[in-house]
Structures are given as structure tokens and as C-alpha cells.
Amino acid sequence: MLADDTWFKPEIDRKTLKELSRRSNWAGAKHFLIYFTALIFFGYLAVISWGSPWFALWIFMYSTIWAYSPSNWHETLHRTAFKSRLTNDIFYYISSFMGNFEPIRWRWSHTFHHSHTLQTHDDYDFEIQVERPTDLIQFFCQFIPFGQLLYPHKTLQAEIFKHAFGNLTKVVEQNAPAEDKNKIIWNSRFFVFIWTSIIGFSFIIESWLPIFLFILPNYVGAPLNQIVNITQHLAVPFDVKDHRLSTHNIRLNPILSFLYYHMEYHLEHHLFPTVPSYNLPKVHELIKDQIPKAHPSLFAFWKSVLPFLIKQAFDPNHTYSIK
């Protein structure tokens, strides 16, 4: 299932795994219906409260939901949200725009991430989060609204601007095949065209509202997204071939679990990436005796892991041991 057969694989009945890997159009439709209904509802409240003190609350709620669009992006990237490949790809492109992910670049680099999780030698896993002490400042800025804009050159939008002008980054040079690199450039140009059109429209109507609704949500809603999303491989050892040592599981409440598209079962996802996320709890029950216990809560995770993250930035050999 993974590119390197030396990776640890738990024992599980093949027929059961095949059944759990079945996609469902209804399951995907239900998830996206709830997601976009909530997004539109809070977006409506933000629009009608524009200019009042209530706007700050509603735009933060709207932006937080929007900022979880990478969870939808991730599930559709794996084509496990829907049974229909076309429907997966449609929502993948929508979610890619919402999350500032150029879709082709990320399809290739995320595939590499699954095959070579946290690899630092030779070909590099560009989804590694913190390596140097200076990375810590940028890391903590992610937990405040607009904090990521203090490092504009490191945002996902900055990467898209580079690609739009034909300056392909290392991650593209390493991961994307030659025939797709031109597509990445043109997709990036299309993203930039949409962004500039939104900004232009805002100038025409003399209102910041379109910019708040369609360009800034990932930065406004980052705090409640990043506190969950960034937990996946935090402070663990690099260059190991056992996802049990490099991938965290966390117990979440139902609301965060929905927004996160059940990726709190992240170890199970790495072990069986073809299983739809809504079946990961079932996989967990089947293999729980073969894998480490999950962190009991989000608070417990950060209390345990954060000190190791800080120390690891100064000493790469100081890592959190998942037990």
C-alpha cells in the first residue's frame, strides 16, 4: 500500500479492509452539505452585520469554518470523500482554492508525504513543520489571527505567486513530473486572477467585505484550525519507517472531529490511506492492540508534546516518543 515495503503494516483481514475502503456518495454529500450550510449561515451573519461590532464575531466563526477547508481538500485529494471520481475532483478543486493549495503540486507532494513521511535525507518531505529555532516564531504566529502574514513570503499564496510567474519551487521540482509543471503554472495564474478580481471588485464597490469573505478567511480563522491540524506529526523523530513512531492520534469532540474530517485518527489514515475517513474509527477498533494509544484530548496532546517541539528545534535528536 505504501511505496516502501519496509514500513510497518498492522495485521488486518483483507476482506474487512476492502469493505472498509468502499466509498459512499451519500457520506460525502452529507458532510459537504453540513459544512457549506454552516459556512453560508455564518457568512450571511457576517454580511448583514458588516459595519457593526457583531461583524468581528461572525467573520471569525465563518473564517474558522473556512479555515478547515484543507480537511475537505485532504479527503478529496485521496478521492475517499465520494464514490464518484469526478465528484471528488470537483470538490478537490473547490477546496484547493479555499485552502490556497494549487491542486496538482499538492497531489504529488502529498503522495510523496505518505510514501516518505518526515524524510530529510535525499528527497525531502516538504510537509515537515519545525526544524530550526527560528521556525518556532513562525510556528507560534499561526495561532493568532493574521499571524501568518507576518511571514508573507512563506504563505501558500506566496508560493502560488511564484509559480504563476514561472518560478517553480523545490517541492515542485522534486515531486511533480515534467508534464505537469506547466499545468501548475497555469493553475497558479488562474488562482491569482481570481484573487485580483476579488480585490478589484472590492475597490469598485469601496468595501473590504469581499476580501474578508474570500481571501482572508484562512488567516482570520487560523487559530482554531491550526491548533488541531498541525498536530499530525509534531515533535516526532525524522527518518523512521514506522508510522506508529511518527504520527499522532488524538481524541476530539464531535464538532472538531467533523471539521477535521475525522483525521484525528491520523495514524490509521497513514497505515490505510485508501480508507474513507468516516471508517477510520472502525479501523482503529480492529488494530488498537497493535498501535499506541491516542492522546486523550487536545489539551493533553499540547501539554505533552509542546515542550518536546521547542527542544527539538534546538536539538533534532530530542523527540517525543509515542507510546
258-262's contacts with Cβ under 8 Å and 24+ in sequence apart are: 258/31, 258/34, 258/35, 259/35, 259/65, 259/68, 259/71, 259/225, 259/228, 260/68, 260/71, 260/228, 260/229, 261/31, 261/71, 261/72, 261/74, 261/75
pLDDT tens for each residue of 239-269? 998 999 999 999 999 999 999 999 999 999 9
Confidence of residue 58 (pLDDT cuts 50, 70, 90): very high
Confidence of residue 128 (pLDDT cuts 50, 70, 90): confident
Grid cell in block for residue 256: 472538531
Confidence of residue 132 (pLDDT cuts 50, 70, 90): confident
Q: Sketch the domain layout of the chain as residue ranges.
A: 14-158+211-314
Average pLDDT over residues 310-317: 91
pLDDT tens for each residue of 150-175? 999 999 999 999 999 999 999 999 99
Whether the pLDDT of residue 2 is over 50: the answer is no
β-partners of residue 287 are none
* pLDDT top residue among 299 and 6: 299
267-271's contacts with Cβ under 8 Å and 24+ in sequence apart are: 267/243, 267/291, 267/292, 270/114, 270/117, 270/243, 271/8, 271/9, 271/10, 271/243
| Chain-centre distance for alpha carbon 237 | 20
The confidence score (pLDDT) of residue 5 equals: 55
pLDDT tens for each residue of 233-242? 999 999 998 9
Task: Share the mean pLDDT of the chain.
Answer: 95
The confidence score (pLDDT) of residue 179 equals: 96
The confidence score (pLDDT) of residue 254 equals: 97
Whether the pLDDT of residue 4 is over 60: the answer is no
Task: Give the list of residues 6+ apart from residue 31 with CB closer than 8 angstroms, or none.
Answer: 72, 81, 258, 261, 278
- Residue 155's identity, in one-letter code, is T
**C-alpha separations of 203 from 43, 200, 208, 212 in Å:** 20, 5, 8, 13
Instruction: Decide if 127 contacts 185 (C-beta within 8 A).
Output: no
Average pLDDT over residues 92-109: 98
Task: Give the list of residues 6+ apart from residue 73 with CB closer than 8 angstroms, or none.
Answer: 92, 95, 96, 98, 99, 101, 106
Instruction: Decide if 226 contacts 234 (C-beta within 8 A).
Output: no
Grid cell in block for residue 68: 478547515
Instruction: Decide if 76 contacts 89 (C-beta within 8 A).
Output: yes
The confidence score (pLDDT) of residue 121 equals: 84
DSSP letters, 184-203, are HHHHHHHHHHHHHHHHHHHH
The confidence score (pLDDT) of residue 6 equals: 74
